[in-house]
Amino acid sequence: MDGHGGQERQLFELGRLVKAGLTQPLGLMRPGGVGRILAVQSGEGDIERGLLEMGFVEGACVEVLHHGFLGRDPLAVRINQTMTVALRRGEANAVLVGPLLDQGADTRSSTGQEARLS
């Protein structure tokens, strides 16, 4: 996580997973899109903690409900069917989302641990 190298590697990892077509950053999802959070990772510790405190945690289900009317920013995201949170695309991209019904669904926390980058 420290310095440039860490960030670059993280971006590379993220890109690899996205290319595989299975995962994507929350910020790229369209309204109506659903998924399960695989990783919450940001270059800045405070944003990561902020996201975690608002319920964006590995294993949680997310559904993108709305986009803002300018530049499709910010996003309104429903977490675990209960809480709705507004956040900007920049922060949303720190949340990596995978398919809702993957094999990890039953072993959520362990999947979460493995999928966390860095």
Residue whose tokens read 């990783």: 39
The nearer residue to other proteins, 35 or 91, going by C-beta atoms, is 91
- What's the min distance (Å) between Cβ of 40 and other proteins? 8
Contact residues: other proteins, CB under 8 A: 45-55, 57-58, 65-71, 73-74, 76, 79-88, 90-91, 109, 112
Residue 18 corresponds to which tokens in the numbers above? 């996205």
Gap between the Cα atoms of 26 and 14, Å rounded: 12
CB of 18 or CB of 57, closer to other proteins = 57
Q: Which of 37, 35, 38, 26 is nearest to 76 (CA)?
A: 26
Tokens of 74: 């910010």
Residue closer to other proteins by CB (options 18, 65) is 65
CB of 115 to other proteins, least distance (A): 13
